[in-house]
Structure 1
Amino acid sequence: MKKSKFDTFILALFLFIALAYFFPQLYTWEDGKVLSWATTIGVSLIFFFYGLKLSFPQIKAGLKNWRLHLLVQASTFILFPLVLLPFYPLVKSSIQHDFWLSFFFLAALPSTVSSSVVMVSIAKGNIPAAIFNASISGLIGVVVTPLWMQFFMDFGEVAVLGDIYGGLILEIILPVILGLFLQPYWGKWGTKYSKPLNKFDKLVILLIVYASFAESFVSGVFDSIGKSYLILVFLGVVVFFVFVYGLIYLLARYVFKFNREDQITALFCGSKKSLTHGSVFGKFIFSHAAGAGLYFLPLMIYHAFQILVVTIIAQRYASQKK
């Protein structure tokens, strides 16, 4: 069994938060227009390359297992939010609302793409189904995530249909479609250079995280919270992950009665949340929110926690005899 390697991207996330705190000048340069254009172009390229790397034969192979797809997508977009909805009536103050909303934003996001497939592969699960679910989840999220969020936050002057959906379609859907169209010609190139392209993806995410936290630091949002808030966020993420992971396990094994491979895919794809999509979606949803950094906190902690825990679980599955 291979030892899990430390994810340097997690370290980079905290480094860029520190940079945002000590050096917010890049965000304020030219009123943020330079950084905004850089992230916009970067996001479009991320999803263009994503379209290039989609494999139609593998996706087609996974289409038949509709019960598995139903559980994964329902877990991602329905189960996660429903777990948090009973707590909404308990929200009284503005800081409690921001706390709850940051977790609800996490709950409404799609699943990860590459890491879900990698983990399912390590654990010897249903890889074609993982590829299908990971691929379709992000596209569903373009519609569903803003739809969930508009019920619980005031978008102000932001037009949901025009600004948010229009921006997501322009920066995500159209680049993916273009990538799919060019996949027969450039697909091998995208696969060959997948590692450098993944590094480019992470760099763009880091820039978005930097911009969000720099804006929050400049506006003084974090001055109103203390260490207890951060501790509660961390504990909330751990409890949230364990609870939902346990629910999906019970559903996959005892309700849907999946075989071992499908159980693994349901668990890994259904319990994960995408920092890539969260960073991009948040750029539009919280475009006029001074406390955008607060809304990203649970997502970033969840990202780190899910990688650590699921890597360990995947390796345990891999070492088990069928």
Structure 2
Amino acid sequence: MRFISVIKKEWFLVGMVVAILLAMVIPNVGKSAGFLHLDVVTSAGIALIFFLHGLGLSPSAIKAGVSNWRLHLFVQTATFIAYPLLWVVFGDGLHLLMPSALAFGFCYLFVLPSTISSSVAMTSIAKGNVPGAIFNASLSSVLGVFITPFLIQVFMGLEGVEMDLMATIVSISTLLLLPMVIGQLLRPVLIHFIERHKTVVNKVDKVVILLIVFNAFSDSVAEGIWQGFSPTALFIAVALSFIILLVAAHGITWSASKCGFSREDEIAAVFCGTKKTLAAGVPMAKVIFGADPNLGMFLLPIMFYHPIQIFYCALLANRYASQAEKSHVQSVP
């Protein structure tokens, strides 16, 4: 009975493990365009998350998110300065550890913008500054359209990079801003219904994260990225991805505390500052690298990093949420 009680309490973490195991066993079910069409389902889930955020956010909260310039500067610095500096410092060492194409894949990983969906979802789960996360995630994606190709040119010497800025902005707006605006418009009508069913609503983002994990791992297994390379190269790539995430997550946490951020802002900084986007990274790579035969190697690090960051950040989000619940209970007389 105690075991069942623990599973019920930690159902989200248990679900993460189950999602990974299922992806290994039945990848064709969970992969994009697979039996469940999770690429479509998760896109709808992401839109639903932002719609619910739009319902839940008061206009004053949104204004606070936009005006928090210290948080925005911190997150964008972490994304587009601190991460690329890792390549400046360790790039030569990476070339010694692995083939050049795989090493440049880590270069590409470092210069990518942050994710939108999971950054906001994790911030929400952890009871952090959701308006700040929404603003920073979307700002990072827009800035990445300009900064990522520029840094690739600087580090890898590519020329003639062209990006469809308008299409990217439209895509981001459709994914993020439109559902949120609709939620804001319907807030006066639906806010009381949402508050009455808060218990169910609070589980929506966790369920969507579980589906994203299943989809991400299924895609990686179905595409065979776990094979085709030497076990040593795969181990080094996976280990480096995990080490990079640990260094980034704990370095940002430490830096945020030194900057005097509130707990809510620290959470937004951690989840927006550590994330790197796979959804935008793959199509962006096709534009930047074209028909380069090394494209698969360039994408391998972000393919590894993506599910690792979701899994580890889910653990962090769950820990932050538990701490918030304990603080709330202790503060209640």
**TM-score under structure 2 length normalisation:** 0.68
**Other structure's SS at 1:296 match:** helix
Seen in structure 2, the aligned counterparts of structure 1 residues 308 and 54 have a Cα distance that, compared at 3 Å, is closer
Deviations 1:46-98 (A, max 9, x none): 222221111224445x479x5xx222111112134321222324154222233
Rounded to whole Å, the distance in 2 between the matches of 1:305 and 1:104 is 25
Corresponding position of 2:185? 181
DSSP-derived class of the 1:282 partner: coil
Distance in 2 between residues matched to 1:263 and 1:83, nearest whole Å = 21
C-alpha displacement at 1:142, in angstroms?
4.3
Aligned equivalent of 1:51 = 54
- 1:46-195 aligned within 5 A: 46-59=49-62, 62=64, 69-89=68-88, 90=91, 92=95, 93-102=100-109, 104-105=111-112, 108-109=114-115, 112-113=119-120, 116=123, 130=129, 132-151=131-150, 160-161=164-165, 163-195=167-199
Do the aligned partners of residues 88 and 131 (structure 1) sit closer, same or farther apart at CA in structure 2, a change above 3 Å counting?
A: closer
Structure 2 residue 7 is matched with structure 1 residue 9: no
Give the drift of 1:304: 3.5
C-alpha change, 1:34 and 1:306, in structure 2 (3 Å) is closer
CA apart distance, 1:296: 0.4
Which range is displaced more, 301-310 or 29-38?
29-38
Do the aligned residues in 2 keep the contact of 1:76 with 1:109 (CA within 8 Å)?
no
Matched residues, percent identical? 19
Greater shift, 95-104 or 308-317, is seen at: 308-317
* Kept in 1: contact 2:120–2:133 (CA 8 A): yes
Q: CA deviation at 1:132?
A: 4.2
2:200 is the counterpart of 1:196: yes
The answer (yes or no) to whether the contact 1:103–1:295 under 8 Å persists in 2 is no
**Distance (whole Å) between structure 2 residues aligned to residue 296 and residue 177 of structure 1:** 28
Q: How does 1:13-52 map to 2 (within 5 A)?
A: 13-27=16-30, 34-52=37-55
Aligned to 1:124: none
Shift of 1:236: 2.5
Within the candidate set 283, 286, 298, 2:282 is matched to 286
Number of equivalences? 290
SS in 2 for 1:221: coil
Moved more, 299-308 or 45-54: 299-308
Secondary structure of 2:272's counterpart equals coil
Equivalent position of 1:222 in the other structure: 226
Listed one character per residue, the Cα deviations across residues 207-229 of structure 1 (whole Å, up to 9, x for unaligned) are 33333332222222122343343
**TM-score with structure 1 length normalisation?**
0.70
Distance in 2 (alpha carbons) for counterparts of 1:282 and 1:46: 19
Do 1:109 and 1:274's aligned partners in 2 also have CA atoms closer than 8 Å?
no
Q: Summarize deviations over 1:137-177 as a string: whole Å, max 9, x none.
A: 344344235544444569x9996435543322222211111
Task: Tell me if structure 2 keeps the 8 A contact 1:108–1:144.
Answer: no
1:247 to 255, 271, 284: 255
Give, in whole Å, the separation in 2 of the partners of 1:162 and 1:298: 31
Q: Is the 8 A contact 2:137 2:272 kept in 1?
A: no
Taking the aligned partners of 2:27 and 2:249, their CA distance within structure 1 comes to: 32
Two-structure CA RMSD over aligned residues (Å): 4.1
Unaligned runs of 5+ in 1: 122-129, 253-261
- Partner Cα separation in structure 2 for residue 137 and residue 246 of structure 1: 19
SS in 2 for 1:222: coil
C-alpha displacement of 1:314: 6.1
Separation in structure 2 between the aligned mates of residue 119 and residue 23 of structure 1, nearest angstrom: 30
Q: 1:268 to 1:49 in 2, by over 3 A?
A: closer
CA distance in structure 2 between the aligned counterparts of 1:179 and 1:250, rounded to whole angstroms: 35
CA spacing shift, 1:158–1:209, aligned 2, 3 Å: farther
- Give structure 2 stretches of 5+ with no counterpart: 1-7, 153-157, 287-294
| Alpha-carbon separation, structure 2, partners of 1:222 and 1:158 | 32
Alignment partner, residue 239 of structure 2: 231
